[in-house]
Structure 1
Amino acid sequence: MAIDQLVGSCMLAVAASVFTYYTLWVFVLPFVDSESFLQLFFLPRDYAIKIPILLLLVGGLGVGSFIGNVMIKKAQKEKLKKSKKTE
């Protein structure tokens, strides 16, 4: 198995486990008795909203920063090209 297949398989396993955990946390846990031992494996329910919002904000910030960085570098290259043509 090549390294890229191994990394892809690991990423798929992590994504599947996070999806399963979150689904159980949000859709099943409200119907489980609050005294049950299963409640110990999950965070309080208000984090079910806060964590995805935080991840979306951080992801959006990362994408926006990347796009801004690319635009700045492209503008600098074009400026350098124009200055070389005028010489």
Structure 2
Amino acid sequence: MLGVAIAVFAYYSVWVFVLPFVDESSILTYLFLPREYAIKLPLLLLVVAGLGVGTFVGNVLIKKAQKEKLKKSKKSD
């Protein structure tokens, strides 16, 4: 996982910081997506990760509330 993280960081760093200074006819430009995706992709990943965390926390809270409700109903019996 560390190797993948380093590779993604290096790719993104070259894409954002080096590619604007490279001539557009260079073969290096064909290895990267257009520059507008340098903002759109991380933003999309951030939204998806936020939704995933929110869904997980909501699911845990709902299950906890159900367990407490079941526990209270058993005590009153």
Instruction: Bin the TM-score by the shorter chain.
Output: over 0.9
Taking only aligned residues, the RMSD between alpha carbons, in angstroms, comes to 0.2
- Please say if 1:50 is aligned against 2:32: no
Which of 25, 32, 39 aligns to 2:15? It is: 25
CA drift of 1:59 comes to 0.1
Gaps of 5+ in 2: none
CA drift of 1:31 comes to 0.2
Q: Which residue of 2 aligns with 1:76?
A: 66
Q: Which residue of 2 aligns with 1:35?
A: 25
Q: Name the CA distance, whole Å, in 2 between partners of 1:29 and 1:18.
A: 15
Gaps of 5+ in 1: 1-10
Q: Name the CA distance, whole Å, in 2 between partners of 1:79 and 1:20.
A: 50
User: Identity of aligned pairs, percent?
Assistant: 71
Q: Which residue of 2 aligns with 1:63?
A: 53
